[in-house]
Homo-oligomer: A and B are copies of this chain.
Amino acid sequence: MIQPLTLNTPNTIEFGIGKIATLKDHLKSSRRIFFLVDGPIRDTVEPVLLKIESEGAAVQVSTEVVPEPPIESLENLLAPVKAFDPDTVVGIGGGSTMDLAKLVSVLFTGEQTTAEIIGIGNVKQRPVKLITAPTTSGTGSEVTPIAVLTDTAAQLKKGVVSPHLVPDVAIVDPELTMGMPPALTAATGMDAMTHCIEAYTNRYAHPVVDLIALEGIRLMAAHLERAVTDGTDAEARTAMALGSLYGGMCLGPVNTAAVHALAYPLGGTFKIPHGVSNSVLLPFVMHFNLPSCTARYAEVGRAMGLKNGGELNESLAKRCIGKIYNLSECCGIPGSLQDLKVPESAIPSMAESAMAVQRLLGNNPREVRTEDAVAIYTAAFHGSIG
């Protein structure tokens, strides 16, 4: 029996090479537009900004984006945006940029504080139009109801989840991702892969989400290495952009699980990029989860192209975990926390921090207790799977 589900998605998703050209159409009725743009992409969007300004709209542009954005960097943005008083907010960049743009769009009027909206369902409204366009293929933030901040004091990442954070328009143009260097392509790609795998093997897995999660895995397993090797490979970039979009579509209705929960302290404390944290932890969490979702991991393996010559699911699932580990390695992502210079002595406090992320741990197919988190981090520290 198919269970009830709520899907919140942008009214319009523009997908494909060249679609960034539609941005001006979606801004036709906007008079005051605030753009938050990743520095490196600024030159690419400059002609669009000039065109919009020449047609009489007021434009304010900021490139003040800090990766894994701390709460303070969000708050620094609010006053100038309030003074500008936009009717539209546009975020063009990676996950940090889009998350910040989403948060600015609901906070700039000052009616709610950042502290008030952290958590699930606490945003009251969004008074402006919101448009996002990703320049990486990983976050999926362009379509999700989620934005993540770093609480520097608590050394932990905190999530804001609300349907008001779902943009009106998402423009997913693979051409914008062509400038990504190989390491960023790899890390963000593995992040997207993690979204799909954690959604598909989620305690709250749903057939509507399974369909796109498996397709995302299929697309990305077939194209990630190509995109890393040759960043100008339009076919690979397009497949990765679609896989990442599918990953994002999974996050609203089902969301992620233990990989993301355990990754949060790595970002919060050691400033390790989100995609790298996820990628390093993914095979170790899968190994821990194996008894609880053997058949589903076997299916992930099939979607990744593993041939099944009549072997049992357990053996196929184990090969799937190995393939994930190898894919990450082939893409040049470090294979252990040790390689990332995370000290082994930090594991107990990271485990404690991760346990606070019950919002995501509750989705995990197998219950994670503190000692399990310690064991997973320890295995990931040494980079050796069971």
| Contact between A242 and B2, CB atoms less than 8 A apart | yes
Assess the B1–A19 pair: CB atoms within 8 A: no
- Does residue A14 face the partner (Cβ distance < 8 Å to B)? yes
A16 touches B5 (CB 8 A): yes
Inter-subunit contact A11/B12 (CB<8 Å): no
For residue A41, CB closer than 8 A to chain B, the reply is: no
Q: Which residues of B contact A208 (CB under 8 A)?
A: 15, 242
Q: Which residue of B lies closest to A6 (CB)?
A: B14
**Chain B nearest CB: distance from A125 CB in Å?**
9
Per the bound structure, the CA–CA distance linking A242 and B7 in Å amounts to 13
The answer to whether B11 touches A9, judged by C-beta atoms less than 8 angstroms apart, is yes
How far, in angstroms, from A235 to B2 measured CA to CA in the complex? 7
Interface contact A239-B16, CB-CB below 8 Å = no
The reply to whether A15 and B4 contact each other, CB–CB distance below 8 Å, is yes
Q: For the complex, what is the distance from the CA of A6 to the CA of B21, rounded to whole Å? A: 13
Beta-carbon contact of A5 and B15 below 8 Å: yes
Question: Known: A211-B212, A212-B211. Is A7-B1 also a contact (CB below 8 A)?
Answer: no
Chain B residues whose CB sits within 8 angstroms of the CB of A163 once the complex forms = 11-12
Chain B residues near A6 (CB, 8 Å)?
Answer: 12-15, 22
Is A340 engaged at the interface, CB distance under 8 Å to the other chain? no
Total contacting residues, chain A, CB less than 8 A: 32
CA distance A202 to B14 in the complex (A): 20
Q: Give the shortest distance, in Å, between A14 (CB) and chain B (any CB).
A: 5
Assess whether A351 is interfacial by the CB under 8 Å rule. Answer: no
Is A44 close to B, CB under 8 A?
A: no
Q: Which residues of B contact A239 (CB under 8 A)?
A: 2
A234 interface residue per 8 A CB criterion: yes
Are the CB atoms of A19 and B2 closer together than 8 Å? no
**Chain A residues touching B, majority SS:** mixed
Task: Give the Cβ gap from A168 to chain B, nearest Cβ, in Å.
Answer: 8
Instruction: Give Cα A242–Cα B209 distance, bound, in whole angstroms.
Output: 12
CB-CB under 8 A from A22, the residues of chain B are 6
Find chain B residues with CB under 8 A from A238 CB.
1-2
B11 touching A166 by the CB < 8 A rule? yes
- Which residue of chain B is the closest to A7 with respect to CB atoms? B13
Chain B residues, Cβ within 8 Å of A166 = 11
Q: Digit string of A230-242 for contact with B (CB within 8 Å is 1, else 0)?
A: 0000110011001
Given the complex of chains A and B, what is the CA–CA distance between A207 and B6 in angstroms?
Answer: 24
Residue A8 lies at the interface, judged by CB distance under 8 Å to chain B = yes
A78 at the interface (CB under 8 A from B): no
CB-CB nearest in chain B for A17: B4
Residue-wise, chain A 195-221 has the 8 Å CB interface mask toward B (1 for contact) of 000000000000110011001000000
Q: Is the CB of A12 within 8 A of B4?
A: no
Shortest distance between the CB of A118 and any CB in chain B (Å)? 23
A9 to chain B: which residues have CB within 8 Å? Answer: 9-11, 13
> Could you jot down 23 A-B contacts, CB within 8 Å?
A1-B234, A2-B238, A2-B242, A3-B16, A4-B14, A4-B16, A4-B17, A5-B15, A5-B16, A6-B15, A6-B22, A7-B12, A7-B13, A8-B11, A9-B9, A9-B10, A10-B11, A11-B163, A11-B166, A15-B208, A207-B242, A208-B242, A211-B211
Residues of A within 8 A of B (CB): 1-19, 22, 163, 166, 207-208, 211-212, 215, 234-235, 238-239, 242
Task: Return the 6 tightest CB-CB contacts between A and B, nearest first.
Answer: A4-B16, A7-B13, A2-B238, A1-B235, A5-B15, A211-B215
